[in-house]
């Protein structure tokens, strides 16, 4: 498990990181926690010429609340996110999701930026990014850009990140105070990754659902918003029956993967079961 | 110290191991150490057209590159050391590197030796191999088909051997009042020891001797086999297996890479190290299980079982591994009747070549497979009769008064009290209450189930005469030397080769108990062929029943000689001298009176030799080469209770209760630890683990991302207990405990799940019982009240 030879560079600023990326002529990779990239390099599934270490870049570890959005720096580790008081107060669903990533060692090293930029289709965070209308902040030679989460994940390990760019932070919408968000995952027994992971945020006003976000990861090549589920519940009362009805549509907006552990049919079924589970818990009907 | 036998002494080896002070093979560092890497076939079946190593040789750090053609004249093939008798076994030549053809993904094609590990790995990418890819066959039943690709030209139909035993006839089943048959599949498993395999070799050209550090469960067997392969006399090879991080059977075999490392060190004149990558461990270290089993039982309407027969098609992989052929035949076949009074039995085994990793022993080796099919078919038999599975077992278990019991397949079970074990387990389980709760929950749409195993195991391998009769190419006795030093400290040299089982502690307890000295005064040396006369190693739960008894006999020989000296010192006759708690004293006097002498005082006199009795030589050592008269037969009753999630098919283990009997228990904590580990691995097979190849022979479960090793949080707290029925045929009264957990737990769990699924009419499911499989079964089944 030894990677091919590579050059190692350390960037001290975003600008320098991007400059180094450009200088590598497309053969460089940014590394932060390294918990997605290094295993692939050790299996020689990828062999970048240059690793550009961004761990020393200043200013990418902040958690800020601006208006109705909370922004986290790309270099925050999963552990830092799950234990951050501001995150726990404003976005408990994000803390909950981070706490379910990998194991202690992975959470101590892996970063939110690296996780989202890697775009593993079974990763937990993309679901919560979709459910919280996340905006991914990207800096490139051209300047700064923002991508909505729904436009960011294009395929397995494929994102909208342009060449020679860097994900610097993520801003999440803080859902209205009357809502509640949860993350429910059916973990693969080998990897702990999501076979199906559901992030759901729901709020009821005057007996009717007036706020709902349901996003699913793991089920297919890309995480997706379960719009059919959302639309079915919006404006209706929240009961076990309405939840159950809506949850049946959980797979409608996705393309189910089919593998050794779970067939497409079973995954679709799991999507329904886990959407129901998540919505019941979020509605405190348990 | 007396009382130390049977007490929960903490493991002496642990401070060393948990503080990183152990010496595992990869820890061995030598001056000028070169590193090897092996280029492995990416194809399951292909002709090697051309191998071009020229670019690799140009790499500045590369010392040498070897291909099959380079070594074939210099070192011999890798032998198979278990040849079941009357089986027409085809031991096709297995060279350390493939010459004309590769036969599984991972088959070695070339070895690079470089002065740096990174360079060795990089140089692999500089070797060009031209392959002509052939169709592959991975399923053993398919491999027996007429049109199947042929793995070895000299084994047409891919049949490596065909072995039979027993007397049950077709009529016994055809005419039986009750007749149940079923096909069970034992999936392929990957042993996954925590420490990957590794070899380091150092050749001394001036003495012509080779020292090898190996991840071995049996260093003397490795020495014997490597002597033959490398053409070096046995006394010029030293094998060291100092600390070995688990084996589970996968470090029994002599592997091609081990021979290559020894060869390279001799050829190049520098020490060479090779350590397997985890990915290589998945691909080339032997796998376990993988059998297709057609099972039938015959019985009476009252639940009496009369005959059993099993037709086993075993997947041997691409080559016959060292002990591979013994697993589906002898180790599987002979225990098929289990703990029940079957009057007749028959076993029919085909060992088949396929384009997959070779299979060999994996914790339990044959006995888990036999116990699985037996305990599953007994449940199906009970279902057929509408009887409770516990009642069927109780009716058929061999009675405590029937031992020694002669089985339909010629074994003599030494001792047992199966009913007592079952009763104890039932008491812990609260069986009737569970059944009641099950009924209540079913009416609420919740599905819980209970399953059990009442097993007997054959272990403590074994009498050498039997080893010879069943084709094992070696003896199965064990040696021990007990060297008492002048100060009374003791070094034990054992031919057993523990690799995690805790014998540095339990063996010290045996010595401490007999000599009346603290266990810290006893050091256990294992895993060194230069320091230990001879031995057959650790597998088949033999270390304590065979190695431990060899040790006890050697200790008693020390006492025998010391008694002579003590008698002389006490001016008494030998017959008058008693020995207890480390003190020799005269009969009739209490210990503590003046007429006594301590063990240490006697030892000192033995070495000073100023005044020894006539005919007694100086020094104090005991030796034993102990060959057991029989196997030992641990037994027990395991119960598992599960709940199946109706919506997802997920299985939650509610409780796991294990009652085991391994004779006298030397260290309850260690015995319990062995049971815990075994249960975890056995449940791993039932619920999560399974190696899967695609039809081109690619291993789809080649990393821990896909191959589901159980984790601690998957389990409830295991509830374990022991009954102690002393083994009647050995001095210590001990049986083995290392494999009982894997033998008992797999069928207990599956029986529990199938029991939970009874309302859905599910009769059986193939392991592992993944959530989808269980869910699909519930979808297909119709819920009956």
DSSP secondary structure of B322-346: SSGGGIIIIIHHTTTTTTB--SEEE
Same domain, B722 and B686: yes
Q: What is the pLDDT along chain A (286 residues), one digit of tens a residue?
A: 889 999 999 999 999 999 999 999 989 999 999 999 999 999 889 999 999 999 999 999 999 999 999 999 999 999 999 999 999 999 999 999 999 999 999 999 999 999 999 999 999 999 999 999 999 999 999 999 999 999 999 999 999 999 999 999 999 999 999 999 999 999 999 999 999 999 999 999 999 999 999 999 999 999 999 999 999 999 999 999 999 999 999 999 999 999 999 999 999 999 999 999 999 999 986 5
Q: What are phi and psi of A174, to 5 degrees?
A: -85, 110
Query: Is A140 in a helix, a strand, or coil?
Result: strand
Q: Which among B233, B266, B284 is the end of a domain? A: B284
Same domain, B616 and B639: no
- In this complex, do A2 and B772 lie within 8 Å of one another by their Cβ atoms? no
Name chain B contacts of A43, Cβ cutoff 8 Å.
279, 703
CATH of the domain at B385: 3.30.365.10
The two beta strands, B635-644 and B651-661, are antiparallel
Q: What's CA A62's distance to the chain center, in Å? A: 18
- Is the pLDDT at B591 greater than 60? The verdict is no
Task: Identify the sign of the CA torsion B750, B752, B756, B758.
Answer: positive
The two beta strands, A50-53 and A7-10, are parallel
Range of the domain at B412: 288-461+630-780
- In this complex, do B692 and A260 lie within 8 Å of one another by their Cβ atoms? yes
The two beta strands, B288-299 and A50-53, are unpaired
Task: Identify the sign of the CA torsion B557, B561, B567, B569.
Answer: negative
- Least CB-CB distance to B708: which of A186, A189, A273? A189
Shortest Cα distance, chain A CAs vs residue B30, angstroms:
21
The two beta strands, B577-580 and B522-525, are unpaired
pLDDT range class, residue B587, cuts 50, 70, 90: confident
Same domain, B129 and B224: yes
B703-736 residue pLDDT tens? 999 999 999 999 999 999 999 999 999 999 999 9
User: Is the separation of the CB atoms in B617 and B627 below 8 Å?
Assistant: no
In a domain, B499, yes or no: yes
User: Is the separation of the CB atoms in B329 and B351 below 8 Å?
Assistant: yes
Same domain, B280 and B292: no
- In this complex, do A266 and B775 lie within 8 Å of one another by their Cβ atoms? yes
- Is the pLDDT at B783 greater than 90? The verdict is no
Tell me, what DSSP letter sits at residue B459? Answer: B
- In this complex, do B701 and A260 lie within 8 Å of one another by their Cβ atoms? yes
B511-532 residue pLDDT tens? 999 999 999 999 999 999 999 9
In a domain, B654, yes or no: yes
Q: What is the mean pLDDT of residues B153-169?
A: 95
Question: pLDDT value at position B747?
Answer: 98
B364 is written with which tokens?
């339990």
What percent of chain B clears pLDDT 70, i.e. is strictly above it?
Answer: 98
- Is the pLDDT at B782 greater than 90? The verdict is no
> How far from A113 is each of A10, A74, A75, A105, B588, CA to CA, in Å?
17, 4, 6, 17, 83
In a domain, B218, yes or no: yes
In a domain, B12, yes or no: no
What percent of chain B clears pLDDT 90, i.e. is strictly above it?
Answer: 98
Same domain, B204 and B70: yes
In a domain, B212, yes or no: yes
Closest CA to B337 of B313, B364, B373: B373
Residues on A contacting B at a C-beta cutoff of 8 Å: 1-2, 4-5, 43, 186, 188-191, 193, 260-263, 266, 269-270, 273
- In this complex, do A273 and B776 lie within 8 Å of one another by their Cβ atoms? no
pLDDT range class, residue B785, cuts 50, 70, 90: very low
Q: What is the mean pLDDT of residues B24-32?
A: 97
Domain count of chain B?
3
Q: Which of A47, A189, A248 to mutate to test the interface with B (most CBs of B within 10 A)?
A: A189
Q: Which of A263, A266, A272 to mutate to test the interface with B (most CBs of B within 10 A)?
A: A266
Q: What is the mean pLDDT of residues B86-98?
A: 95
Same domain, B314 and B415: yes
In a domain, B224, yes or no: yes
A112 is written with which tokens?
């939110």
B612-668 residue pLDDT tens? 999 999 999 999 999 999 999 999 999 999 999 999 999 999 999 999 999 999 999
Closest CA to B673 of B547, B500, B416: B500
B411-429 residue pLDDT tens? 999 999 999 999 999 999 9
Mean pLDDT of chain B: 96
- In this complex, do B647 and A273 lie within 8 Å of one another by their Cβ atoms? yes
Same domain, B258 and B326: no
Count interface pairs A-B at CB distance under 8 A: 50
Same domain, B264 and B121: yes
The ipTM assigned to this model is: 0.95
Q: Which among B576, B610, B626 is the end of a domain? A: B626
- In this complex, do B700 and A260 lie within 8 Å of one another by their Cβ atoms? yes
Q: Which among B626, B651, B684 is the end of a domain? A: B626
Same domain, B434 and B310: yes
Residue of chain B minimizing CA distance to A264: B772
pLDDT range class, residue B354, cuts 50, 70, 90: very high
CA distance A167 to B383: 61
Q: What's CA B213's distance to the chain center, in Å? A: 21
- In this complex, do A186 and B117 lie within 8 Å of one another by their Cβ atoms? no
pLDDT range class, residue B781, cuts 50, 70, 90: confident
- Is the pLDDT at B229 greater than 50? The verdict is yes
CA distance B390 to B375: 11
- In this complex, do A2 and B118 lie within 8 Å of one another by their Cβ atoms? yes
Q: What are phi and psi of B666, to 5 degrees?
A: -80, -45
| B579-605 residues labelled b (16+ CB within 10 A) or e (exposed) | beebbbbbeeeeeeeebbbbbbbbbbb
Q: What is the mean pLDDT of residues B334-349?
A: 98
Shortest Cα distance, chain A CAs vs residue B81, angstroms:
32
Q: Token pair 């821990």 is at which residue?
A: B704
CA distance B732 to B438: 44
Name chain A contacts of B121, Cβ cutoff 8 Å.
2
Shortest Cα distance, chain B CAs vs residue A35, angstroms:
14
User: Is the separation of the CB atoms in B720 and B660 below 8 Å?
Assistant: yes
Same domain, B599 and B638: no
Same domain, B277 and B302: no
Residue of chain B minimizing CA distance to A189: B708
Same domain, B538 and B668: no
In a domain, B176, yes or no: no
Beta bridge partners of A63: A72
- Least CB-CB distance to B117: which of A2, A5, A269? A2
Question: pLDDT value at position B462?
Answer: 86
User: Is the separation of the CB atoms in A102 and A35 below 8 Å?
Assistant: yes
In a domain, B175, yes or no: no
């Amino acid at each position: 498990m030894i990677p091919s030879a590579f050059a190692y560079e350390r960037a001290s600023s975003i600008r320098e990181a991007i400059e180094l990326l450009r200088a590598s002529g497309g053969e460089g990779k940014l590394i932060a926690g390294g918990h997605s990239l290094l295993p692939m390099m050790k299996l020689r599934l990828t062999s970048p010429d240059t690793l550009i270490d961004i761990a020393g870049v200043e200013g990418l570890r902040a958690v800020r609340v601006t208006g109705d959005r909370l922004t986290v720096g790309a270099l925050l580790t999963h552990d830092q996110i799950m234990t951050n008081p501001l995150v726990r107060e404003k976005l408990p669903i994000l803390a909950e999701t981070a706490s379910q990533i990998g194991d202690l060692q992975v959470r101590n090293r892996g970063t939110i930026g690296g996780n989202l930029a890697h775009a593993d289709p079974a990763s937990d965070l993309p679901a919560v990014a979709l459910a919280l209308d996340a905006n991914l902040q990207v800096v490139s030679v051209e300047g700064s850009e923002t991508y909505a989460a729904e436009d960011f994940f294009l395929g397995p390990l494929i994102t909208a990140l342009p060449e020679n760019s860097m994900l610097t932070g993520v801003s999440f919408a803080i859902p209205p105070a009357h809502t509640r968000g949860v993350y429910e995952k059916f973990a693969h027994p080998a990897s702990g990754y999501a076979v199906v992971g559901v992030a759901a945020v729901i709020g009821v006003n005057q007996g009717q659902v007036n706020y709902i976000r349901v996003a699913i990861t793991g089920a297919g090549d890309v995480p997706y918003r379960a719009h059919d589920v959302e639309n079915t519940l919006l404006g209706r009362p929240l009961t076990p029956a309405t939840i159950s009805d809506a949850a049946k549509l959980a797979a409608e907006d996705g393309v189910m993967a089919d593998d050794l552990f779970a067939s497409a049919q079973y995954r679709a079924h799991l999507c329904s079961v886990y959407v129901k589970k998540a919505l019941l818990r979020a509605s405190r009907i348990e | 110290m007396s009382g130390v036998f049977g007490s929960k002494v903490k493991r002496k080896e642990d401070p060393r191991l948990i503080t990183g002070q152990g010496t595992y093979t990869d820890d061995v560092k030598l001056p000028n150490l070169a590193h090897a890497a092996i280029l492995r076939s990416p194809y399951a079946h292909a002709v090697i057209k051309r191998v071009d190593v020229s670019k690799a040789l140009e790499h500045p750090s590369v010392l040498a590159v070897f291909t099959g053609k380079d070594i074939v004249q210099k070192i011999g093939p890798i032998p198979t050391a278990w040849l079941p008798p009357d089986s027409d076994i085809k031991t096709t030549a297995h060279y350390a590197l493939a010459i004309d053809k590769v036969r599984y993904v991972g088959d070695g094609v070339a070895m690079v030796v470089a002065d740096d590990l990174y360079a060795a790995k990089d140089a692999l990418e500089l070797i060009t191999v031209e392959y002509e890819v052939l169709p592959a066959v991975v399923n053993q039943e398919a491999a027996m088909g007429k049109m199947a690709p042929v793995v070895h030209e000299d084994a047409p139909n891919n049949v490596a051997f065909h072995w039979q035993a027993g007397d049950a006839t077709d009529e016994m089943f055809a005419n039986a009042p009750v007749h149940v048959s079923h096909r069970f599949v034992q999936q392929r498993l990957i042993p996954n020891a925590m420490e990957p395999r590794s070899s380091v070799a150092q050749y001394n050209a001036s003495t012509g001797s080779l020292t090898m550090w190996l991840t071995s469960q049996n260093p003397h067997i490795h020495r014997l086999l490597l002597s033959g392969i490398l053409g070096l006399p046995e006394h010029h090879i030293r094998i060291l297996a100092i600390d070995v991080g688990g084996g589970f059977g996968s470090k029994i075999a002599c592997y091609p890479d081990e021979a290559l490392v020894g060869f390279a060190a001799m050829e190049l004149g520098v020490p060479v190290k090779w350590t397997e990558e985890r990915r290589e461990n998945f691909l080339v270290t032997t796998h376990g299980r993988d059998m297709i089993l057609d099972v039938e039982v015959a019985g009476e309407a009252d639940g009496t079982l009369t005959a059993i027969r099993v037709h086993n098609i075993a997947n041997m992989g691409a080559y016959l591994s060292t002990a591979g052929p013994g697993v589906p035949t002898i180790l599987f076949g002979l225990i098929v009747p289990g703990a029940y009074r079957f009057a007749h039995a028959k076993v029919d085994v085909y060992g088949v070549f396929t384009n997959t990793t070779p299979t060999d022993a994996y914790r339990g080796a044959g006995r888990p497979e036999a116990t699985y099919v037996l305990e599953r078919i007994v449940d199906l038999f009970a279902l057929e009769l509408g009887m409770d599975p516990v009642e069927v077992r109780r009716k058929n278990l061999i009675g405590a008064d029937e031992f020694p019991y002669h089985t339909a397949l010629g074994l003599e079970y030494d001792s047992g009290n199966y009913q007592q074990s079952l009763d104890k387990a039932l008491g812990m389980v609260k069986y009737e209450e569970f059944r009641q709760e099950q009924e209540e929950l079913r009416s609420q749409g919740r599905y819980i189930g209970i399953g059990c195993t009442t097993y007997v195991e054959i272990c403590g391998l074994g009498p050498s005469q039997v080893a010879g009769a069943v084709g094992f190419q070696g003896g199965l006795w064990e040696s021990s030397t007990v060297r008492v030093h002048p100060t009374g400290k003791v070094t034990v040299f054992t031919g057993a080769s523990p690799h995690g089982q805790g014998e540095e502690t339990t063996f010290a307890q045996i010595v401490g108990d007999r000599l009346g000295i603290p266990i810290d005064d006893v050091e256990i040396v294992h895993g060194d062929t230069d320091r230990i006369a001879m031995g057959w190693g650790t597998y088949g739960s033999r270390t304590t029943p065979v190695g431990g008894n060899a040790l006890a006999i050697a200790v008693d020989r020390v006492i025998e000689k010391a008694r002579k000296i003590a008698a002389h010192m006490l001016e008494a006759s030998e017959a008058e001298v008693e020995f207890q708690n480390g003190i020799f004293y005269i009969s009739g006097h209490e210990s503590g009176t003046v007429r006594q002498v301590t063990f240490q005082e006697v030892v000192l006199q033995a070495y000073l030799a100023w005044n020894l009795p006539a005919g007694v030589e100086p020094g104090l050592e005991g030796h034993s080469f102990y060959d057991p008269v029989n196997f030992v037969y641990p037994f027990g009753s395991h119960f598992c209770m599960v709940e199946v999630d109706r919506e997802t098919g997920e299985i939650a283990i509610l409780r796991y209760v294990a009652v085991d009997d391994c004779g006298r228990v030397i260290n309850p904590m260690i015995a319990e630890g062995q049971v815990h580990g075994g249960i975890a691995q056995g449940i791993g097979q039932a619920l999560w683990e399974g190696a899967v190849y695609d039809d081109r022979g690619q291993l789809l479960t080649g990393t821990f991302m896909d191959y589901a090793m159980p984790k601690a949080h998957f389990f409830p707290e295991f509830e374990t207990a022991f009954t102690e029925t002393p083994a009647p045929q050995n001095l210590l009264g001990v049986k083995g405990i290392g494999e009982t957990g894997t033998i008992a737990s797999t069928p207990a769990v599956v029986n529990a799940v199938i029991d939970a699924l009874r309302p859905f009419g599910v009769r059986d499911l193939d392991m592992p019982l993944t959530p989808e499989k269980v869910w699909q079964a519930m979808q297909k089944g119709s819920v009956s009240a």
